Structure 1
């Protein structure tokens, strides 16, 4: 049984051998499984591994099969399992020669044995490759039996050489076109709007076998105990895929990267252990936000999301709208409006019929002039819920929601960025203890082995940035005045980006101008208000790029002073989040580097090198009995992580069930507590700024009944509970740390 995971981003700069060298540290930390990003051969120079080009072998750039075996051996020797990320939805085609299957398809067209591996619309003629910088073919060359355009090389079909490069080009099974034509005219399914990632047809058993053979060999050999399935919503039939995967790996721990709406559950027919934890992330982080501090909003999030979804259907995902519309012989706008109205990322027909009906109704209400076309689509989908039309609608709805909401609206609706997270609900300002307890109880009962997380390679900001920003919810007036004052002299000329910039600066401080510049450049382009990835406003981008250095030079002392005031409450929130996640229901994941306080922003910032030498030095001190202060070294967080993970590993029997506990007294609302087994209690502090004004006073926490004395695993001290009914005085219990891990019985 996997008790916890530690996520490592494997790359050419941090190979499998580097991961193997950390196994001893992770074992000492109490980690149950090393959890890696994809290990299969990816595009040349890939820094993340999600752009696989050859699923039949471990990546040579990451160390190859020999390094993989060394990692497996190291993990086994330390008693750790191995969990691997897999990418069934797509493969990289950015460098055609690096992908042998795609290269063969380009060379032989529909005669290629791999022609059915990729989701290509062959009815529309040669494969469209949007790589040209203009509409001209004048720069084409034929060189070494290849068609060459700048740094791009493509194969020649047998017998097609001879003549001018333009004539050779016309004989191929592909057509090179201007890069701008991709979003509107692409003839193959892709990952979101990324034309260099081509969709793979794993619904075909032969394709499933070919793409999964190597990873399943690792599983069968007992070398891999768990699989994290990337982006199941992009698959033609996720349920069938997961049932096939489960049959091939019956004993593996399976979790899916599925983003759930707030009140959505995984389909009951999916034979998986749960999600990768975005649902838990929303709940844990929201628990430390003060609902009384909700700032006003000029517009509703729903209106902004609708606007952004429409934008992506008309621009970056227009090709998908047209392909689906052609199947139903309707106006592409009708397809787009159904996508815009989806209440969830996708339905899984015939499951999820209510979500489909809601999308249809919403589309007809928003665009009554398209009602007839929408009815055509609705009738066809209901008549054949497993047909091509229904399948493509479902595959595409998640693309529209993700690109419209996470990658656009969340960069436009920026009143409180701590909530603008993958799987988040920014218009729900925080999570009450009652809601958290209800959802945690359900997780313990229904999904006890689901993954929980606070940071991933996909999150918009790290858990500790969100923890610090949560403090601002307790200081809404002061924060608003501060931003107004700073913006008076140093505003970014776009209001939503300006708000996001100040929050990000304070959340990640101390941060270099270079990191802030790169973050704001990405944020501005994702928002697509004044500039974008496709259509640039160079003058605006230059002003945004200059902002961090100017602000740090002119206002750095003021920012430093403000952050110094909220740092300690932020650390309290960070420790509270971490202990609730680690000790709560599910299998907790620790993202690389977050074993100390980590103030990272969106990728690639969250994939920066981690100083493991410092972590090992601090861990050695903890092993010698050191009780660190709560300060910016982050050693207190490492202490919490170590104590909980070791307990999970050594006493898994304690982490069963879930029972809310309620404090009593004047500061009861600032204590959040629960028990797992009756012998284990977890306590965290909420809303520390407000608490500091009054203190705990005589607030107490009644503990579960039973014989035996209690002690705190974090301080090593016994808990003075008095006679029955036993109660812990929170002022004493939380005097050293803002969190506690109480165990009853022998240490």
Structure 2
């Protein structure tokens, strides 16, 4: 039987918030009504990790969080208070930090490593100089300059040798030690040392797929290491001779260069990473390397501890990070399901509008699709369109979002993801070479075609499986549309190349290289979407920033109530136990910020007017015209959505946002003049009492509507099909922005005190403390308690039936019934009706009902309608249960 949570509460664990700290709030979470703690990854991560996605050892618990002992106590504490546990896991990649013993072994031994098959490395790239080597792009300048300046040295510690550069150390290949040890043997006149050095040089090169030979080589290497260690410990003359040889090596740039050439890695200038990396990364993060988890021995090694916890009941479920990075997500999830048949499994699958989760053997997604449909139904669709027109007038730029997204995707494939394009191009060149009709296409043409086709995809990826000759019609159509769009966009490239690429991607043309291209191309389009759209274009298209959210489409002007209901009915029919969430560690803005910014769609002219006034007023603080009107429109929405906000938080956020946009500054190429001007502009703005007064006055005008939006989406999250998730601290108003802002410490003592105090208040007392966030806490607590009491009322068998309102403001009502026992009533477009419901009424199912949020009891007769003004008189939303 599946262990489905009633709800989850996301905790971000790190060295400032450990297992012990999490254990201390477990009783509070239980009292709040949560059923399961949902933890960020806590296998051993790189030192000082603030998120846990940079795993270095899958067989250990993170020592900075408390290690195995701390985890055991934490798990016991959860069990004592009656909480289950869900864990975020990372199968796609690992950190390259020194603590990753698998990767250290690969750097030391190259293709001879026992772990060479663990990582997604191209050992045979098109560039000869990188054959059987790994590029390590960490140097602060050109390799030759760093070497000449003494920035790369060999060091000895006991019998161990390393290369030290740029604050990092790297292992030395055993074969190359013969260079040092042979010279040292002459100085020490040691035959034994000479033998050891010569033996290192005779270690065989092996085929990494020949496991027996690889292990034999590893055994011989360890024997030699033991002999060398004994010599160094027992004969001081040997150590002195070795140190002399090392000093002479470091003093001779030519000799050191020759020595470094013998290593299984190539030290390089950090800027080479974009074009010459030979390993698959997590997006464009050079320090996170892709795993070959499709290989069963890799799966078993990296999941042993997780599966042990699932089997023993320490964990009830897992959230799988970035499954689209995997070579074959279906294979991965089936393998995981086979080994953990009772687990609740959620995949962090980003579904684009109109896309639905595949029939993977999991319960659903991590909820981005839900938060986007909810936000979309809260905005004024006509207002969004008008806001776009006003934004274009204000900023002087009417570029449509699809054009921005396409251009940003092209840019990211040329720059940050250039290495990935090169790898794909090499494979496709080989494919063309084996087909005489296509053999004359050049590498340059192929690179351009790959970039263009990837930029024309409307989803993260397709799921074609050449090994199983598996392609679905929806994937075929997406590939055909992308290739046709690419062909139309790039008339300078022979259209036959795009047709040929389409045929390869749709399996009309098959073979070994074709299979490899299809699988790698599918792993490539996700990073293009993530880096080009979510991390770039979303910061450039600013008509209504709340719509720029992970998995969202800013070009979409919102959704009708009918579309919202249709979506929920399909979720109930397909993934009734998916996760529903409003904020995550990756969202661009917290749910309450988005809910408030959404109100601007109802008053587009008022916002445009105030933006113009603030822009004119702010001229006195401008350094020239550096702070362009596009930046201002973005900044003013941020101010309105996150107010009150400190200068430090706002400056840090705007700096990150503008670097992500890559229009006037970027992470790689900082525009110091622009960034300084932006910081001074913000400082002057928040130091001007007149301006601050205007900001406060405008926020006050939309504050209630924003909060009512928040309460509505919070209620929907808890009653719509799925399992509701609450991001840490979000039980009160949360005005956080993108990370690291949303990772700030949470004041749990205050929340504990408010929860205890709230239990002695009635609904009027709660509403009187709106500014403290008590209404949100009140709603969440009552909804969670109901779900714990009556899990079946929200399960797969509980139907979803829309309820219809009538009257002047019928469009401002969003209501539905779950089964026969629960009714949800929310509101939208609050500024449009100016707080008045007039003659608006809602038809409820007949019977006796209890409003869980106010205590009011209702007796509804057949065909009776209830006035919204009465139903929502005491609280902005209603949660009714059959009495």
Q: Are residues 370 and 238 of structure 1, via their aligned partners in 2, closer, same or farther at CA, if it must alter by over 3 Å?
A: farther
Residue of structure 1 aligned with 2:459, choices 334, 339, 344:
344
How far apart are 1:525 and its partner, in Å? 0.8
How far apart are 1:75 and its partner, in Å? 1.8
How far apart are 1:160 and its partner, in Å? 2.5
Structure 1 SS opposite 2:378: coil
CA distance in 2, matches of 1:557, 1:141: 59
CA distance in 1, matches of 2:612, 2:312: 60
Structure 1 SS opposite 2:546: helix
Alignment correspondent of 1:128: 135
1:615 and 2:616 matched: no
CA distance in 2, matches of 1:219, 1:712: 38
Residue of structure 1 aligned with 2:875, choices 713, 737, 742:
737
Detail structure 1 runs of 4+ shifted over 6 Å in the superposition. Answer: none
RMSD, matched Cα: 1.5
Deviation string 1:443-482 (CA, Å, 9 cap, x unpaired) is 1121100111110001000000001111111111110010
1:563 and 2:699 matched: yes
How far apart are 1:495 and its partner, in Å? 3.4
How far apart are 1:527 and its partner, in Å? 0.5
CA distance in 1, matches of 2:712, 2:670: 42
User: Aligned runs of 1:250-261 on 2, under 5 Å?
Assistant: 250-261=341-352
CA distance in 2, matches of 1:445, 1:275: 15
Alignment correspondent of 1:547: 681
Greater Cα shift, 462-471 or 135-144 = 135-144
User: Aligned runs of 1:315-326 on 2, under 5 Å?
Assistant: 315-326=415-426
Residue of structure 2 aligned with 1:632, choices 763, 766, 771:
771
C-alpha contact (below 8 Å) 2:274/2:418 kept by paired residues: yes
How far apart are 1:548 and its partner, in Å? 1.9
1:274 and 2:402 matched: no
Deviation string 1:332-361 (CA, Å, 9 cap, x unpaired) is 111111101112110000232222222222
C-alpha contact (below 8 Å) 1:494/1:530 kept by paired residues: no
User: Aligned runs of 1:518-533 on 2, under 5 Å?
Assistant: 518-533=652-667
How far apart are 1:546 and its partner, in Å? 2.1
C-alpha contact (below 8 Å) 1:140/1:166 kept by paired residues: no
CA distance in 1, matches of 2:566, 2:20: 43
1:60 and 2:60 matched: no
C-alpha contact (below 8 Å) 1:455/1:462 kept by paired residues: yes
1:47 and 2:50 matched: yes
How far apart are 1:233 and its partner, in Å? 0.8
Alignment correspondent of 1:142: 154
C-alpha contact (below 8 Å) 1:137/1:166 kept by paired residues: no
Structure 2 SS opposite 1:423: coil
Deviation string 1:685-735 (CA, Å, 9 cap, x unpaired) is 111111226x11232211113x4x2121101122364x4323322111111
How far apart are 1:540 and its partner, in Å? 0.8
1:366 and 2:489 matched: yes
Deviation string 1:160-212 (CA, Å, 9 cap, x unpaired) is 24323433322210011000000111111001111011111101111111111
Alignment correspondent of 1:460: 588
Alignment correspondent of 1:591: 727
C-alpha contact (below 8 Å) 1:713/1:742 kept by paired residues: yes
Point out the structure with the larger helix share. 2
C-alpha contact (below 8 Å) 2:845/2:862 kept by paired residues: no
C-alpha contact (below 8 Å) 1:311/1:404 kept by paired residues: yes
Alignment correspondent of 2:440: none
Structure 2 SS opposite 1:146: strand
Alignment correspondent of 1:509: 643
Greater Cα shift, 134-143 or 592-601 = 134-143
Alignment correspondent of 2:18: 15
CA distance in 2, matches of 1:46, 1:275: 25
Residue of structure 2 aligned with 1:153, choices 161, 166, 169:
169
Structure 2 SS opposite 1:334: helix
Residue of structure 1 aligned with 2:815, choices 649, 657, 673:
673
Task: Give the length in aligned residue pairs.
Answer: 738
* TM-score with structure 1 setting the length: 0.97
C-alpha contact (below 8 Å) 2:139/2:166 kept by paired residues: no
Alignment correspondent of 1:76: 79
1:225 and 2:316 matched: yes
C-alpha contact (below 8 Å) 1:517/1:546 kept by paired residues: no
C-alpha contact (below 8 Å) 1:568/1:631 kept by paired residues: no
Alignment correspondent of 1:288: 378
How far apart are 1:490 and its partner, in Å? 2.5
CA distance in 2, matches of 1:52, 1:133: 26
Q: Are residues 716 and 339 of structure 1, via their aligned partners in 2, closer, same or farther at CA, if it must alter by over 3 Å?
A: same
How far apart are 1:625 and its partner, in Å? 4.2
1:714 and 2:860 matched: no
Greater Cα shift, 190-199 or 487-496 = 487-496
Segments of 5+ residues of structure 2 without an aligned counterpart are 126-130, 181-248, 251-255, 393-397, 430-442, 465-470, 620-625
Deviation string 1:215-237 (CA, Å, 9 cap, x unpaired) is 11111111111110101111111
Alignment correspondent of 2:288: 197
C-alpha contact (below 8 Å) 2:140/2:166 kept by paired residues: no
Q: Are residues 488 and 198 of structure 1, via their aligned partners in 2, closer, same or farther at CA, if it must alter by over 3 Å?
A: same
How far apart are 1:159 and its partner, in Å? 4.5
Structure 2 SS opposite 1:363: helix
CA distance in 2, matches of 1:129, 1:489: 50
CA distance in 1, matches of 2:44, 2:682: 38
CA distance in 2, matches of 1:375, 1:393: 16
Greater Cα shift, 736-745 or 83-92 = 736-745
How far apart are 1:409 and its partner, in Å? 0.6
How far apart are 1:255 and its partner, in Å? 0.8
C-alpha contact (below 8 Å) 2:30/2:82 kept by paired residues: yes
Residue of structure 2 aligned with 1:410, choices 524, 529, 538:
538
C-alpha contact (below 8 Å) 1:119/1:201 kept by paired residues: yes
C-alpha contact (below 8 Å) 1:411/1:497 kept by paired residues: no
